[in-house]
Amino acid sequence: MSHKVFIDGEVGTTGLQIRERLETRPEIELIRLSDDKRKDLDARRAALNAADVVILCLPDEAAIEAVSLIDNPDTVVIDASTAHRVAEGWTYGFPEMTEDQRDLIRASKRISNPGCHATGFIALTRPLTEMGVLPPFFPVTSTSLSGYTGGGKAMIAEFEGGQGHERIYATALKHKHLPEMQLYSGLESAPIFSPTVANFAQGLIVEVPLHLWALPDAPDLATIYNILSAHYADEPFVRVASPEETEAAKSLNGDALRDTNQLVIYVFGDEDSDTVNLVAVFDNLGKGASGAAVQNLNIVLGLDETTGLI
């Protein structure tokens, strides 16, 4: 049986990568609009309502508009934008987050694909809040190193045109991923979050440093490692690096997992100072966007979750 899929925003950075992952799959029939029709409201309305699954790869306002054009009650929407990530009636498309999240995604017709930085932050913190070692009131900080494709077509043009500068941004501490980071990490307040964009195309490293001695039960490094390893033990796309691999990782490259849907967690620690640095490495356009959207598509279609993904 073939499944009709429409990618609204197919020629953008995220949309293009989703198309590349889907166009060779025989069970997927892509609904496509010609270049002169891709922003035409009537053409989009028809495509949105003809699809079994719609994947929105649009700026927030256009994503909200796209949803308003859908009146087919059977259409499933996977929205890659920020517009619906904490909205009521939407399911957060992070299957690895909790034990029941996959089933919630499978049953949902409105799925929001997580933000790239948020994916790393939540992957590192949620299992710890679930197990009670990171209490909800605890103040957390996080940094992120992103490839420039994270900023879409405009930032790609800037860096590939030779004008790009590596820089910190979101300096007002109001990054657009903070609401989803707060809600799905299980923390009562958002982290202080400082991202950096760097001169490589694809990849992301999100860090969450913790003073273990300041946590109420003062957990040791092994406790943190064991909670994260157990949480992701059966996951095809998220894994925790072994202590040997962690020991050997004296430095990490931002683009280490380019073109994959993998996310690898490192629990770096120093027993003398009783500190850890939790680190998530992945591709901002893989598990941080397009790969994650395809994974969610596989789940809602009832297919093997790993189909078409590495």
Q: Which does residue 211 touch among ligand NDP, ligand X2W, none (CB within 5 to 8 A, set by kind)? A: none
> Is position 191 an interface residue for ligand X2W (rule: CB under 6 A)?
no
Among 197, 227, 240, 278, binds ligand X2W (CB under 6 A): 197
Q: Which does residue 11 touch among ligand NDP, ligand X2W, none (CB within 5 to 8 A, set by kind)? A: ligand NDP
Shortest spacing between CB 94 and ligand X2W, in angstroms = 12
**DSSP H or E segment with residue 279:** strand 275-282
Q: Which residues bind ligand NDP (CB under 6 A)?
A: 8-9, 11-15, 38-39, 57-60, 62, 80-82, 115-116, 149-150, 152-153, 284-285, 288-289
CA distance 266 to 293: 24
In whole angstroms, how far apart are CA 235 and each of 177, 226, 260? 24, 15, 15
The span of 37-45, 150-158, 217-225, 294-302 binding ligand X2W (CB under 6 A) equals 150-158
Q: What's the token pair of residue 289? A: 């966007």
CA distance 50 to 282: 34
Q: What's the token pair of residue 287? A: 């598990």
> Is position 82 an interface residue for ligand X2W (rule: CB under 6 A)?
yes
Among 106, 176, 239, 258, binds ligand X2W (CB under 6 A): 176
**Which DSSP string corresponds to 124-184?**
HHHHHHHTTSS-TT---EEEEEEEGGGGHHHHHHHHHTT----EE--TTS--TTHHHHHHH
Enumerate the active-site residues: 116
Shortest spacing between CB 235 and ligand X2W, in angstroms = 21
Q: Is 184 exposed, middle or buried (0-12, 13-18, 19+ CB in 10 A)?
A: buried
Among 9, 95, 115, 308, binds ligand X2W (CB under 6 A): 115
Identify the bridge partners of residue 240 per DSSP, sorted by sequence position: 265
Q: Which does residue 57 touch among ligand NDP, ligand X2W, none (CB within 5 to 8 A, set by kind)? A: ligand NDP
Sign for the pseudo-dihedral over CA of 216, 221, 224, 230: negative
Residues contacting ligand X2W: total by CB under 6 A: 13
Q: Which does residue 203 touch among ligand X2W, ligand NDP, none (CB within 5 to 8 A, set by kind)? A: none
In whole angstroms, how far apart are CA 77 and each of 3, 50, 112? 14, 12, 8
The nearer residue to ligand NDP, 264 or 293, going by C-beta atoms, is: 293
Q: Which does residue 197 touch among ligand X2W, ligand NDP, none (CB within 5 to 8 A, set by kind)? A: ligand X2W
The nearer residue to ligand X2W, 288 or 308, going by C-beta atoms, is: 288
**DSSP H or E segment with residue 4:** strand 3-8
Q: Report the helix count and the strand count for the chain, using DSSP H and E.
A: 10, 13
Shortest spacing between CB 212 and ligand NDP, in angstroms = 32
Shortest spacing between CB 170 and ligand NDP, in angstroms = 14
The span of 122-130, 149-157, 216-224, 252-260 binding ligand X2W (CB under 6 A) equals 149-157
Among 93, 120, 150, 203, binds ligand X2W (CB under 6 A): 150
CA distance 266 to 239: 9
The count of other CB atoms within 10 Å of the CB of residue 39 is 13
Where along the sequence are the contacts to ligand X2W (CB under 6 A)?
82, 115-116, 146, 150-151, 155, 176-177, 195, 197, 288-289
